[in-house]
Structure 1
């Protein structure tokens, strides 16, 4: 089973993990058993191939690959009697040739055959995975490629190799020993193309004989080689005496079974590996406000105690890191850890002795709470509309921001509120908010925004913004309670409206029955504290309907009131029409009249009436005259009677006295 493990350590890194187009690994070395020859050996995934292999060589500077073998390189079915194989090799060869290729390529025997072929070149020849280039010339550099017989496509190509006199493989390089209380960790710089394994030897000052420790050479996997670092460990020597000094030597083994000479010695001297007593009574005290943790502890003052280290992690399961840069003196029993991150914090206090041994206390836990509030939100703006108030602001940048609360208050003065309430039940993540309100709300509000983080720390409130919805609700419909008039004025009275934002009233008038032609009575808005208004632009004897409209401070107008009728009395006409002169021209039969009207109304015109005979009615003898004189033809009707009717602009009639012309002056 150990050989199987070795096979896995060799074949897995060199074959199965090789590049997809590289099916074999090819190695070259000077064969010490044959003069002036280079031995080529290859590791193929099925060990051999029933069709065999071909070997090609290319010299440095050349472009041609020269085929070296005349016949395909295949396993030898029958071993010659002169072979020098040991029993194990012979048995392995027999098992291989007696198995079908399909059976062998998947069997465990394949592992043992390949391992033995690495150690013994003769067996490698017999199973068809080795070739001797006897035509190579000294001090020339070559590369070799292995192909399936009859093909020129390479299964693998060797690294460049210079043909020189034989020399043993070099010893492992970069050897490093780290001794602890119960073992020695050993590593070296891997070179899997120069050698495949290393043997480790040891002696001590108690037992000076050199003893081989590795029963099976220690092979390094390709993945291990690729990840090699100063922390790599390839072999652990656990059979050590605490008080003994140890010395190690190494041999490298290549793919041709050839070993290097022993390396020089590497020492792992005895040392003090007994750690000091653990610190105890470790007590953390945290200050969230200052992001600080104070640690206090006690120690046992041992002779070789050097000091204390502090370690920290944010999880008990994660790797911790050292906090202090310099070793804390053993007499110092307190430490302040500053700039501690918010959240869970775990601490370990470790005593350190002069040999560097540490003894770590159990972890202690403390918590730094987030007490830093978010920044004050900025850029708060408001927009009010019918039934809503919209708010928006700039986003905060804190990574632990939970959201925002929108707060509202009634305005008491300037832009200051009284008692603020949250209008958002839970913090919101968006940077805008719309509040729906009844359309008839008239209050002016003060809004502000508060940022909240995941630990519920609250920021300073943002600057305030004022918001008031537009007034779209009109006043109540007013009610006119009375309207009375004389010949010159109409007095209209109404019930005062109870609207709090009432600005005043507008009074309208129309002639009764005419609802289309409505005249505004007042020029300026009637003040809200007035409930009576006098209309001074009316006409006597007219019938009017009055309507009242209430107006609020936002300019909203109510429905007009129900019409209230009012009739102005007729204006009494006063004054006379006096005949100033009457001249009758007998010869022409022409009567010249002049008169004067003195009335309290404007005159529209005059008409002269005449009665020819007493039993006949008066008839107009003129049309409507606008002047106050007339020439009237009376012909022979000298006995007739006359009077003048004066018509006012308001339709009133004033009649002069009746007069005749018999006794008048004649011309």
Structure 2
């Protein structure tokens, strides 16, 4: 019976001893006694084929230490002076691609090796590197030119395009002329922008403006220009009939307004309040000639004895948004019958 007691008591003690022994083991593979740094990395070289278009790629020989953890990459700009070097990257690989680099600039690289105890080697010998510009940017895509002359705002022309994907892109140049024979030279240059949007407010109503753009990279290489596109800030049309503050003879009145030269189409808008309550929107084609535009057929029958606001939206080119609008405060009343 005594033997059983001893066995029961010694079993927990053995487990406790095993647990304590387990927790005495270090939780990583560092060696506090290790103060020896890895060897200085060697073989630092430039990958010339990959060091193009704003990228510099370097590589080096792998260290052989069993406790090696990583490499530090240092860079200096303009001169191989130790105070100029800054740590720019850490890696376990033996190569690194440095991006968004400037052309016509000398960069210097040195690397070090770091072991698992954070012992760091001395810096390697310096490597001088530059990036080479070999390709101009592509032609900007999806270029659109849309003019506006919205009530209460000055005339403007908005240019949009899809941003170029090149990593070394610097900016876009915008050119403008009033002739379709728009050449790319300094006499027609109007703006430089880093955005894929440009709004030209130095324009006049009724003047057709042609635009072209080019993409320019950091090496000052320019793309071919986009094909010229044009639009015109159009004048606001005058409304003719129904007259302002009048009562129409019928609940299905005809409508007419001043023809706008350069318009592609119109939309006749009828609503029950100044800002909202649209009840009808009718598309009307641009007549080939004449001084006015009429819509007398296919017009809606309106409610009797009701006040309506009406206006005309004017569209140019293929823009889904109106170039300009007529006066929006014109009102008329329908008869009671």
Greater relative contact order, per chain length (Cα 8 Å cut-off, separation 6+):
2
Q: Is TM-score (shorter-chain normalized) higher than 0.5?
A: no
Larger radius of gyration: 1
Give the alignment's TM-score, normalised by structure 1: 0.23
Give the alignment's TM-score, normalised by structure 2: 0.40
